[in-house]
Structure 1
Amino acid sequence: MHLLVTQSFGRESEYRRALLTIMSFWAWYSGPASQVKTVLFTDAPDFFRQYLTDVEVDYVLLTPEKIKVMRGQIDFLHRMKIALIEEAFQRHPGADMLYVDSDTFFTADALPWMQDFRPGRSFMHLLEYTYEECRKLPLPMGVTFHAFLHLIEQQSFQTTRGTEQYTARQESWNAGVMGLPAEIVAMIPDVYQLTDQFYPPTQNHASEQYAFSLVLQTRTELHPCDQYVYHYWYRVKKQVTDLVLADTITAEFKQQTWADKLAAVRRLTQQLPAIYDTHPLMLQDNAVQAFNENRFKEGYQHAWIALRKSPFTPSFLKDVLYHAKRHITQA
């Protein structure tokens, strides 16, 4: 048995994202439905029941009180991920887990991934960087990353193994998608302990990711799984996704058969990566990023394409004029 675990709370745009996450799994999955249990932590189970009509879902209600407990004494939002993974394992003993953040969607059949689970093997979305690379991040943007690097270079940490030391050569893997065999439940106390030691002195919002990364790479054989799932964690991609889903997950969509809904979702997962690349919001962001780094020629190219697609965007026009003036001043 495998669990498909995700979380969604707060507002309707978040709920639509989680629908895409869950339904995209089922849109691609070719294995027996009886071998997968969807576990959804949410404050709005009735919203999801309207759409997830033909799949068994274990709804776990997120109340304000429960969320507060999950965030812990350090009051850290992403500590909730550890807590809900732990609870899902406890609710379904012996099951392996596919954990996915709600800003993800499946782009391939997960059955081969599930068949690749072995004792002593785990999965995270992809390797992002070694901690040494944090040293090169400019300030003030990189202040919390510098703080984390300093922390692991200067301190040791307490886990169930006793005192552990980590180095800048170790790796941060993206924790938005994880494949966790049932045996990982025994390692969750260490993920808690490290997160609680990482976050307060650094205020780094990847603290739970660092904890999962270090525990899994030192206790298991860690593999990527990005060939199965797309993680649109970037702010502008989330904005684009929300616009697309508002037009897709409608009252009419709700009335479709389960098979038709899955077919529509599968088509959408094939289209979204290209939509991100060509959407005016992304083109505008690419232009501003280029301008900010003084890559003016590239900025003008992105700006021209963006304005052709969406000419009536006063705030973006203001940005372009500001950077054009800055360019002229520097010339």
Structure 2
Amino acid sequence: MNIVYLVFGNNIENYQQAHFSIYTALLFKNAGDRIVVVTDNTQLFNSFGNHIETISINNDVIKEWEGEYQFFWRVKIKALQLVSGKYPSESILYLDGDTFFYHEMDSLRDGMKNGQNYMHVEEGKLSALSSKTERLMWKQMNGKTYHSIQIDKNSAMWNAGLIGISHKHFSCLDLTLGINDAMCEDGVTRRLVEQFAFSLGLNEFSALKPADNIVGHYWGNKKEWNEIISNFLKECFMKHYSLDQIIQKVKEIDFTQIPIKVKESSTQRKLKNFIDQFYKNRKPLYINK
């Protein structure tokens, strides 16, 4: 099984998240699993040595992967096609950076070996979801067909923070890409297009199962997790921990004590943004050469 990450761009927090997730993967993987990082900055993963494999991409590749409609998250589909082409007999367990393993992954590995596909968790039927984006998507797509898949009241949206694809069903990536591009061509609002395309494409080959009992996804509390991870990595660097020591330190973390989702006050956020606009630091002082 290949445990795959995709990290690119200049936001250092994305790389820190991926590092932490990889440490948790190293804690639970078995000897036959391979960790693969597709990235435009392989040097930021040098500390892992031969414990992981990096696949280098660049801005030209990323721009090409965005496709005719220049859709940013189309890159995720193309990256998984790249890995599946390189290792056609090994299932893929893709993870967003803002994830962590907290249980053994044997059931995922065995399930994919037997043809089962996974995504992190079912968020609900698109027709019943309540966010502004999801309501708009349902209005735009209800009853339409995209690359042979019809959208109806039973079409479900799954969270794409984890994507598990059996090596028996890699052709579902072609279907996912076709659905994604057809939705972009139709002008569907874009924020969740790639996620919904994966949900439909993978489910067509194998009724999806969740994996949130094995992998945590803190997309709903990134601010707190980013601070925790940043402090964790600083300590590891300053104490010059070996990789084995870092993994042991990860093993000691009680993940049940850190929320993966919190309800942020929209009023507080708006007030903070309002105040920040009017009260900015002034008269910066610099040293002279």
* TM-score, normalised by the number of residues in structure 2: 0.85
2:63 counterpart residue number: 68
CA distance change for structure 1 residues 277 and 233 in 2, over 3 Å: closer, same or farther?
Answer: closer
Q: 1:277 to 1:207 in 2, by over 3 A?
A: closer
Counterpart for residue 266 of structure 1:
251
Query: What is the total number of aligned residue pairs between the two structures?
Result: 271
Q: Which residue of 2 aligns with 1:322?
A: none
1:49 paired residue number: 46
Counterpart among 157, 165, 180 of residue 150 in structure 2: 165
Given that residues 118 and 210 in structure 2 are in contact (C-alpha distance below 8 angstroms), is that contact kept between their aligned partners in structure 1?
Answer: yes
Candidates 109, 116, 130, aligned match of 2:111 = 116
Larger radius of gyration: 1
Alignment map for 1:179-198 (pairs within 5 Å): 179-198=164-183
Percent identity over paired residues: 21
Q: RMSD in angstroms over aligned alpha carbons?
A: 2.6
Which letter does structure 1 place at the counterpart of 2:89? Answer: G
- 1:203 corresponds to which residue? 189
Q: CA deviation at 1:231?
A: 0.7
How far is the alpha carbon of 1:180 from its aligned partner? 0.8
State how far apart, in whole Å, the 2-side matches of 1:74 and 1:238 are: 29
Q: Which amino acid aligns with 1:53?
A: G
Equivalent residue, structure 1, for 2:137: 148
Report deviation, 1:54. Answer: 5.5
Runs of 4+ in 1 over 4 A off after TM superposition: none
The 5-angstrom pairing of residues 1-331 of structure 1 reads 2-10=1-9, 11-29=11-29, 31=30, 33=31, 35-50=32-47, 52-53=48-49, 55=51, 57-134=52-129, 136-137=130-131, 142=132, 144-158=133-147, 163-200=148-185, 201-234=187-220, 237-250=221-234, 252-253=236-237, 255-268=240-253, 270-271=254-255, 273-276=256-259, 286=264, 288-289=265-266, 315=272
Q: Which amino acid aligns with 2:45?
A: F
Deviation string for 1:35-93 (max 9, x for gaps)? 1111101122112112x1361x2211121111111111111121111001100011112
- Displacement of 1:274: 2.1
Amino acid at match of 1:177: L
Provide the rounded CA distance (Å) in 2 between the counterparts of 1:252 and 1:164: 48
Paired residue type of 1:49? N
Larger helix fraction of residues? 1
Deviation readout 1:15-47 (Å, 9 max, x if unpaired): 110011111011133x3x2x1111101122112
Q: Distance in 2 between matches of 1:28 and 1:154?
A: 43
Q: Which runs of 5+ in 2 are unaligned?
A: 277-289
Quick check: 2:143–2:151 contact (8 Å CA) kept in 1?
Answer: no
Residue of structure 1 equivalent to 2:284: none
CA contact (8 A) 2:3 2:36 kept: yes
Q: Decide whether aligned partners of structure 1 residues 103 and 252 sit closer, same or farther in structure 2, where only a CA change above 3 A counts.
A: closer
Partner letter of residue 222 of structure 2? K
How many angstroms does 1:251 deviate by? 6.9
Q: CA deviation at 1:315?
A: 4.1
Classify 1:77/1:126 alpha carbon distance in 2 versus 1 (closer, same or farther; 3 Å). Answer: same
**Alpha-carbon shift at residue 117 of structure 1 (Å):** 2.5
Task: Check conservation: 2:158, 2:199, Cα contact below 8 A.
Answer: yes
CA–CA separation in structure 2 for the residues paired with 1:60 and 1:9: 11
Query: Residues of 1 paired with 2:236 and 2:213: CA distance?
Result: 32
Conservation of the 8 A alpha-carbon contact between 2:141 and 2:151: yes
Specify whether residues 170 and 315 from structure 1 end up closer, same or farther in structure 2 by C-alpha distance, changes over 3 A only: closer
Matched with 1:325 is: none
Determine if contact 2:112/2:167 at 8 Å carries over to the other structure.
no
Query: Is the contact made by 1:25 and 1:110 (CA closer than 8 Å) also made in structure 2?
Result: no
Q: 1:43 to 1:118 in 2, by over 3 A?
A: closer
| Contact 1:199 1:205 (8 Å CA) reproduced | no
